[in-house]
Structure 1
Amino acid sequence: MIEKALEKPHELVMYEALFARTPFSMKEDRYFYNLKMGYEGEKKFEQFLDKTVDNRFIVLSDLRLEVQTTTFQIDSIVLTGDTLYFFDVKNYSGDYKYAEKRWYKLPDKEVSNPLLQLMRNETLMSQVLQQLHVSLPVECFDVFINPEFNLYQAPLNKHIIFPTQLPKSIKELASKIPVTSSQHTLAQQLISRDIGDYPHPRIPAYNFQQLKKGLRCSKCSGLSVFIEGRKALCPHCQQVEPIHKALLRNIKELHMLFPDEKLTTNFVYDWCGDGYSKKSIQRLLDDHFQKKGVRQWTYYE
C-alpha cells in the first residue's frame, strides 16, 4: 500500500515550464536531463512496487529527512513487519565498469560510487529510528531500474539490484511478515519528519520579457498549440486536449513562475498568445479563481 506517493519535484516542474520558453545553458540542460531521468526512474520503481507489493506492507516514496544538521533523501521505503527496507533508485543508462572500488562510465569518465551514498544514508536512517525509539533492522539497496544499464566487472554485492534481478528481489520482499499497527505509526512519524523539497533550487534566471509566449503543449512542451473550436491542438505531437484544461495549466504555470505578479486578464492574454479572446480568458478566470478589485484594477488569486 502506497502511503506516501511520489510527487514531481518543484525544480523539475519549473524547468519543464521554462524549457520551451528560454534557451538553457549546457549546464542547465544537463541538470534538467538528470532531473527528468531521476524522476522517471523513481516513478517507474513506485509503479512496480504498486503492482507487486500488496496491502500487507507500506510504501513511502521520496522522503527527505534531517538528523541534527544533516539532510538526506530516500527514494523509496518499504516497511514490513520486521524490517525497514529502503531503496535508492538509479536510472543510469549506458555502459559502466567497476574497478578497484571506483565506478566509471565508459570509456573512462569516473562517476560517484553510489554505494558510498547508500551506506551513508543507511547510517542516517538508523539514527532517525533511534530518535524515534524504534528498534527495527534497516536494509538498503541501490536499484538500477533502466534495462539499458550495464556494469562490467560488477562486484558481488548484496546491496545492488540490477534490472533483471528486480522482479525476484521484490517477490522475496513481498513474502515477508506483514506490517502491524507499530509500522503504521512509524510510517506516519516518518511522513511528519519529511522536510520536502530542497530550499535552494537551481532554477535558471528568467524574466517575463525574455520568455517566449504561447500555449505550452503538455506532451512535447512545444509552443505551437492552436485553438480549434473547444480543443487545443499541437501540430508537432498531435496532442489534443480541451481548451479550458490547456489554458488553466498554462495560467497555473504563469502564476508559478511569477507569484508576485497580479494575475490579470491582460497578463494571461500576453502569456498565452492571441489565440483566445480576452473575454473568454476573463470568463475562465471568473470560474476558477477568486476575483479581487473592480474594473481596470481587477485581478485574481
Structure 2
Amino acid sequence: MFLTDRKKTKELNFHEVLERRAELEEGEKRRLKMLRQGFEGEQTYDRLWDEVGHEQLLIFRDLWLKVENATLQIDALIVGEDRLIVNEIKNYSGMYQYGNGSWSVNGFQISEDPLAQASRTAGKLIRLKYGGSHPFDVDRKVAFVNPNFNLTIDSDENEKHIVTRSMMKYYMRDIARRHAGPNAAALSNTIRNFIIDDPMATPEVEAGRIRTGLYCGRCGSYKLTLDRYRSHCGSCGHQETIEYQIVKAIVDYALLFPEQPIEKRSVVWLTGNQLNPRRIEFNMNKYCRLVRRGRHSAYVIDTTDITELLKVKGYNSKYEKRKII
C-alpha cells in the first residue's frame, strides 16, 4: 500500500502559479517543463504499481528525510522485512549513454547522474541501521519510466541498478512477492520519525511582474464576469464560486511570496480589487490562521494544496456546480 501521497513539489506549484500570473523567462520555462515532466514520470510509476498491485507492500512516495546532517529526497521507498529499496524515478526520453561516470544524451553531456544520486541516498539510509532494532539491507534502482528512453551503458555492474519501462512490471511483480510483515511495519515507523516537510526554497519574484485579478481555474482566462456568488468564464463558460476564487488567490499569494505573511490588503491586491475586502477577510478567517492581530493582521495557511485546504476547512457551497473536492 502507498503510505504517503504523491503531491506536486513546492517548486512545481510555484512555477505553475507564476505561469498563470506572469510572462515566464526562458529559464523559468525550461525549469517548469522539467518539473512537469518529472512529476508525470512519478505518476506513471504510481499507475504501474496500481496495475501490478501493492496491497501487501509498504511504499513511501515523495519522501523528504533528515538523517543526521543529510537531507534526502526519495521518489519512492519500498519497505520490506529485511531491506529498503530506493527507486529514483526518471522520465527521460531519447538516446542516452553512460560511461566513465558521466551521462550524455544525443552526444551532449549532462550534469545529472541518476545512478550516483540513488547510490548516495542508499548510502545515507544505511545509517538508520544504527538506531534500529533489527538489521536490513538497502537496494537501489533507477526507474526509467518513459517508453521512448534508450540507454547504452558501460558495465553490467551499473546496469543491474537500472530498470527500464519494458521491464518495470516484471520488476514490480518480483518485489510484490515479498509481503511486508512486522519487521517492515517497525522499520516504516522508524522512517516516519525522520520525515520532514519539503525544505526547498522557491525563487524570489518581483511583485511588479505579477498579473493581478481573477482567472478561470479551467482555461486560465482572466475574462471573467462576476455575480454575487460565482465567477463566469467568458472563454470556456466554466463557473467557480467567489469563495473558491478567494481561496485560490490566498494559495497563489502563499506560493509566490512564501516568506511574507498573508495580509488582507495583499489578497485584495492579488485579486485586482475585484472583490469586497470584507468578503475576503471573512474567508481568510475561515481558511487561514491568524498570527498577528492589528491594523494589518497577518495570516498563514496550513497547506498550499488547495484541494486539501478546502477539504480540511469544510468547503461546501450550494452555489458550486462542479465537484472541487
Judged with a 3 Å threshold, the aligned counterparts in structure 2 of structure 1 residues 251 and 161 are, in CA distance, closer, same or farther, namely: same
2:64 touches 2:195 (CA, 8 Å); kept in 1?
yes
Aligned residues of 2:263 and 2:298 also touching (Cα < 8 A)? yes
Shift of 1:48: 3.1
Q: 1:116 to 1:235 in 2, by over 3 A?
A: farther
Question: Number of matched residues?
Answer: 294
Instruction: Tell me the residue number matched to 1:226.
Output: 224
Paired amino acid for 2:149? F
Matches within 5 A, 1:81-92: 81-92=81-92
Conservation of the 8 A alpha-carbon contact between 2:216 and 2:224: no
Residue 182 of structure 1: CA displacement? 2.4
**5 Å matches for 1:174-185?**
174-176=176-178, 178-185=179-186
Which residue pairs with 2:243 in the alignment? 244
SS at match of 2:141: strand
Q: Indicate the residue corresponding to 1:169 in structure 2.
A: 171
CA contact (8 A) 1:4 1:191 kept: no
CA distance in 2, matches of 1:290, 1:102: 48
Q: Does 1:204 align with 2:204?
A: yes
Distance 1:227 1:173, change over 3 A: farther
Q: Secondary structure at the match of 1:193?
A: coil
Pairing 1:179-194 to 2, within 5 Å after superposition = 179-194=180-195
SS for the counterpart of 2:21 is coil
**Is the 1:216–1:250 Cα contact (8 Å) retained in structure 2?**
no
Could you tell me how far 1:187 is from its partner in structure 2?
Answer: 0.8
Q: Kindly provide the amino acid, as one letter, of the partner of residue 89 in structure 2.
A: V
1:94 corresponds to: 94
Q: TM-score, normalised by structure 2?
A: 0.76
Q: Report Cα offsets for 1:82-107 as digits up to 9, x if no partner.
A: 43222000121233233455321113
- For the Cα contact (< 8 Å) 1:95–1:151, is it kept in 2? yes
Counterparts of 2:10 and 2:101, CA distance in 1: 34
Report the secondary structure of 1:20's partner residue: helix
**Partner-residue secondary structure (3-state), 1:4:** coil
Relative to 1, partners in 2 of residues 1:238 and 1:186: Cα closer, same or farther, differing over 3 Å?
farther
Distance change (3 Å), C-alpha of 1:120 and 1:298: closer
Structure 1 position 163, deviation (Å): 1.1
What are the equivalent positions in structure 2 for 1:7-156 lying under 5 Å apart? 7-152=7-152, 156=156
Alpha-carbon deviation of 1:172?
Answer: 1.4
- Given that residues 17 and 252 in structure 2 are in contact (C-alpha distance below 8 angstroms), is that contact kept between their aligned partners in structure 1? yes
Give the 3 Å change call, closer, same or farther, for CA 244–47 of structure 1 in structure 2: farther
Amino acid at match of 2:22: T
**Residue matched to 1:5:** 5
Cα separation, 2, equivalents of 1:261 and 1:69: 29
Superposition deviation, residue 60 in structure 1: 0.6
* Cα gap change, 1:110 to 1:2, in 2 (>3 Å): closer
Residue 224 of structure 1 deviates from its aligned partner by: 1.5
Question: Quick one: structure 1 residues 130 and 21, their matched pair in 2 at CA, closer, same or farther if it must change by over 3 Å?
Answer: same
Do the aligned partners of residues 2 and 245 (structure 1) sit closer, same or farther apart at CA in structure 2, a change above 3 Å counting? same
Mark the runs of 5 or more structure 1 residues left unpaired by the alignment: none
Higher relative contact order (Cα pairs below 8 Å, separated by 6+ residues): 1
Distance (Å, rounded) in 2 between the aligned partners of 1:35 and 1:192? 28
CA distance in 1, matches of 2:236, 2:130: 52
State the alpha-carbon separation in 2 of the partners of residues 255 and 108 from structure 1: 38
- Please state whether the residue corresponding to 1:161 is helix, strand or coil: strand
| Cα distance in 1, alignment partners of residues 261 and 121 from structure 2 | 40
Q: CA RMSD in A?
A: 3.1
| Residues 255 and 263, structure 1, Cα contact 8 Å, conserved in 2 | no
Q: Distance in 2 between matches of 1:232 and 1:96?
A: 48
Cα separation, 2, equivalents of 1:289 and 1:70: 32
1:241 is displaced (CA, Å) by: 3.6
Cα distance between partner residues in 2 of 1:83 and 1:28: 39
Alignment-mate amino acid for residue 165 of structure 1:
M
What is the percent sequence identity of the aligned residues? 22
**Contact between 1:227 and 1:275, CA under 8 Å: does it hold in 2?**
no
1:253 is matched with: 252
C-alpha distance in 2 between matches for 1:54 and 1:124:
26
Partners in 1 of 2:81 and 2:68 — Cα distance? 28
1:206-265 C-alpha deviation (Å, 9 max, x unpaired): 22x442102244455x3515135454455566654434223312222224444645522x
